[in-house]
Structures are given as C-alpha cells and as structure tokens.
Amino acid sequence: MQIKTSRRTFVTALAAGGVLGGLGLWRAPVWASTDPGAPHVLAGAEFDLVIGETPVNFTGNARTAMTVNGGIPGPLLRWKEGDTVTLRVRNKLRDATSIHWHGILLPANMDGVPGLSFHGIAPDGMYVYTFKVRQSGTYWYHSHSGFQEQSGVYGPLIIDPEDPEPFTYDRDYVVMLSDWTDEDPMRIMRKLKKQSDYYNYNKRTVGDFIRDVSEKGWRATIADRKMWAEMRMNPTDLADVSGHTYTYLLNGHAPDDGWTALFRPGERIRLRFINGSAMTYFDVRIPGLKMTVVAADGQNVAPVAVDEFRIAVAETYDVIVEPSGQDAYTIFAQSMDRTGFARGTLAVREGLQAGVPAPDPRPVLSMEDMGMDHGSAHGVDHGHLAGMEHGQAASGGTGDMQSHPASEENNPLVDMQTTTPVPKLDDPGIGLRNNGRRVLTYADLRSAFEDPDGREPGRTIELHLTGHMEKFAWSFDGIKFSDAKPVVLKYGERVRIVLVNDTMMTHPIHLHGMWSDLEDEHGNFLVRKHTVDMPPGSRRSYRVTADALGRWAYHCHLLYHMEAGMFREIRVEE
C-alpha cells in the first residue's frame, strides 16, 4: 500500500510566455472544455513550450522536477484536425531534451526521437516542430531523452475533429495518470540492474505457502515452488517499480490531495484517460458508474459498456459516464501490482468526496499466465534450454508449440521462453478475472471503421519480446538495441507484425509514425492502435502500412525496459 503524506505541489512557476508566471501555490489543471477559465490549456495553431526545472513536493519532501511550462503534467494542448501547428520548444535544462508527440502521424524529423529523427534540443536551444494535423482524438506528448519522462516532462493532447463525433457529451475532462518518484531515476535503474526485484515488497510468505497447501495440496504446492525456484523468478513480480517508491498521480494530484471534476446530475461526461506513467499499468473504475468506452488510442470504437478497464502505459481510452443519484463518485485507478493507487472525484460541487475502495488482492502469476505447460521446466537457465521443445510457431489460438529465433538460444540475455502462447484478446488480465465486474478486453474493441488499408499483408515479421529478470536485460529476439540491425520496410507495403512475449512481464509496444491495426485470432481487422499491450505468454499480430518514410522508433513503453534495450529502429525506405 502507498502510505505517503503528500501536499499540493508547490511550484515556482516559469515565466514561459506568462502562462504560469506569478501563480505561486500551483494547482494542477482542472481541464474541462466547458468550464470557463480552466487553467493551463493552450489552444490554437502556435505554441511556445519551455522545458525546465521546477521545485515540487508530492510526498512531504521537496524535490526538483523537470517540467513543461512549469507544470506536472505540462499544459493541455488543443489542436484542430486539418490545421498546421507550430510548436516552439525551448530547453532550459542543463542537458539536451526532446518532445515526442505520441501516436501522431507526422514527418520523421518532427517525431522528436534524438539519434533517429533529429539531434535533440541542446541546452538553451530551441526546436521548431511544424506539421499538418491529420487525425483527431486523445493523445499525449513526452520527452524521449533519458529518464526525463519519469521526472515530469509529459502532458496531454486533444485534437478536435473536422467532422462531428458519433457521440455527444456535456463536459470534457482529461484524466492523466502518472507515477512520480522522489528518487533519481538513474538510481532506480542502477538498483534494478543489481537486484531486479528490489521494489517487489509483495513476495509470497509462509502464510501464502500454508494457504496454498490447504487449497491445492502439499505435492502441487511444492511442485509449484520448485518450478519458480528453478526459473529464479517470482510470481508476484508484476511491476519492476512499485508503490514502495512511486506516488501515483491523477492530473498531477497525489491520492490524499485529490482532483475534482464537477458535473450536474443527468449530464453526459467525457473522460479522456491517458496513461502517462513511466512504468505503471492502472486498473480503472468508478464505483457506482458504468463507463461506455467510445475511443481507444484516439480512434473511435463501437461503444462498449464496462465497469473497469486496464490501461497500459502510453494507451488512452475515452469513456462516457452519466452520473446521477449520488453527489460524488471516486475515480479509482489502482496499480496492477496493487501497491498503490491514484484517485480523483466527480462531484456536484468542490469539497465533496466519495468512499475510496480498498485495493484488490495481490495477483500471483501462474505458469499458464506465461504460456507454459506445467509438465516441464521452461526457463532458459544461463543460456541453456531446459526441457524445451522446438516446433512450428503457434498460429492464432491453436496452442501449437512455439518456435524461437536462433538468437535466443544459448543467450545469456534470455532467461525464459514461452512454449504455447495464445492471443489472450478476451482475457481481462491477471488480477481482473472473475472479480464480479465487467472488465474491458481487447476483444471488446472494434474500430468504428473498416480496415483503412484493406490489403492482405505481403509478408510477416515475427519478433519476440525477451529478457533476463536477474540481469534486468530487455530486448527483441534476445538482441539489445545497441547490437540490433534496423527492421527495414518498403514504402507503401503492408506487413504483418507478430509479437510473441517470451517474458513474465507485460509490455506495451509502441510503433512511432504509423498505425498498428490489431487482428483477431483469425487475422481479421479488430482495432487501430498506436500502442499494443502484450501480456506474458501472449502472441498477437497486427498490420502496418509503411506509409511514412524515414527512421522510426519501435519499443516497449516501459521506460526502464526501453532504456535497458527493448528498442528497435524501423526504417521505411523507397
């Protein structure tokens, strides 16, 4: 549990175009397009952004954050589909910086990834981003330089559509979730490299052993413990960085601080959820309210009513709620490992609060969760395959034995491989199954349009998500970014990318510059996304149209995994 005392963030505001100058005690933004005077919203086609340092205090300890225009999150940017936007980004840090416009289609030199699409923004320098806006919906932006995203360089982005939307609402709020740490992110990385489970305070106890024996029997419990010990892994290791160091924020507010959005009974409220965290998956619900999901990753979907949804790092979900019968509701977002939560309130007036639910029980991974067969050991111990068979790659949901690339074999950076991965599109996910609530799954998501390309892919590229937990090493196909060759696509081609998760961790995989059109188990178009979540033991496929020339980043959006090597360059050439 997150047991921390937090106070409102104190900011000595940067005089960035006068946006925050002189505000003194800073209040995180109340973003509502229907509320007059909502602060910290920048709209139009011309924008001035300053990345600098700002004093903050989320936990009772004064720290220095990296911020955009002095705020955490940075200002809400509001664009219009069809406009050409110009964003002048100035760097007041001591190190180089950058801004990546997550999920936005644009020329490669506007994408904001140092070393691939541009050189970065030097200290005291400025970079001018300018491009035509070719889409609409809910997105976000963040630094792509080192660990600056963890330190506060991120913010929400809304693009208003040219055409009317297929749903109506009376108020419009952004709900941006993130994770803050008082620690230096580089120190966190060093700890993880030395001891990957450093922040896992949820390990199984003697009491868990006794309970398992009573439920499953002595022999099954001993066999389970033996298997995990042989793999040198922990079934409670769901998140590398936990509430032990993280304070979970909702629109820049810590849990005991609280952010409030106002409503009148009977109104339809649009909530734009954005997971802008560095490492945290959130399970979101509003007790007492159904949520109708109307968009995923900025793209409209066929409406689906749910009680709860899991939002992977970097994903966005838009929902419509209709509060009535209560004066206040709690927006509750618990971390996937149940070590803390973010919260906010929907209320008819300021000052009201609703009850905060207790976090759900701590989830525990099973061998089935990781796509394993209990009949043998399935780790790759110090580069040697243990009890593994190699056959044909699994197709769809058939459960055939999965083959693996040669680069994974005898590889000291690979500690396990899945044997029978399946798509798991209709699986709510570990910790959410059979909880009595209607939980969103990928199988529920249907784009509100047909496959925009329509062509059958001309070829298939299969990549495996790989890692070594003890070494905190992460990669594709067992090859870290510094040793990997680019994936080359021909301009205009339609390809199928198949991902196989050979690790016990969940990974949100983000392709820059192009859409990822997720398929169902039979290869049919399901939903268009910019970030595809990959649970352990899963095999999922999506189509990509290589319609953007240049060098593009392709990576796990867990920041510390990306920095540890789960990153590739995709190069689109004539």
Along the 574 residues of the chain, how does pLDDT read in single tens digits? 333 333 333 333 333 333 332 222 333 434 444 443 344 899 999 999 999 999 999 999 999 999 999 999 999 999 999 999 999 999 999 999 999 999 999 999 999 999 999 999 999 999 999 999 999 999 999 999 999 999 999 999 999 999 999 999 999 999 999 999 999 999 999 999 998 888 886 644 444 434 544 555 656 545 544 453 545 555 556 889 999 999 999 999 999 988 999 999 999 999 999 999 999 999 999 999 999 999 999 999 999 999 999 999 999 999 999 999 999 999 999 999 999 999 999 999 999 999 999 999 988 888 777 666 544 334 443 333 332 323 333 334 445 789 999 999 999 999 999 999 999 999 999 999 999 999 999 999 999 999 999 999 999 999 999 999 899 999 999 999 999 999 999 999 999 999 999 999 999 999 999 999 999 999 999 999 999 999 999 999 999 999 999 999 999 999 999 999 999 999 999 9
The three-state secondary structure class of 562 is: helix
- Percent of the chain as helix, strand, coil, to the nearest 5: 10, 35, 55
Is the Cβ–Cβ distance between 476 and 280 less than 8 Å?
no
Quick one: pLDDT at residue 150?
Answer: 98
Q: What is the pLDDT of residue 23?
A: 29
- Reading across the β-sheet that carries 567-573, which strands appear in turn? 487-490, 567-573, 550-556, 507-511, 531-534
pLDDT, position 321: 98
Helical residues (DSSP H) of 118-172, grouped into ranges: none
Containing 193, the helix (H) or strand (E) segment is: helix 185-194
pLDDT of res. 368:
76
247's tokens: 């304070």
The pLDDT value recorded for residue 369 is 79
| Phi, psi angle pair for 110, to nearest 5° | -105, 0
**Given this model, what pLDDT does residue 210 score?**
47
Distance, in Å, from the CA atom of 272 to the CA atom of 41, rounded to the nearest integer, reads: 15
pLDDT of residue 381: 38
Pairing, β 246-250 against β 171-181:
antiparallel
Task: Find the length of the chain.
Answer: 574
Q: Which two tokens stand for residue 459?
A: 């070829």
What are phi and psi for residue 6, nearest 5 degrees?
-120, 155
What is the reported pLDDT for 79? Answer: 98
Amino acid of residue 399:
G
Strand pairing of 494-501 and 459-468? parallel
Q: Distance between CA atoms of 248 and 92, rounded to whole angstroms?
A: 27
Please give the pLDDT value at position 383. Answer: 32
Interacting residues of 358 by C-beta distance below 8 A, sequence separation 6+: none
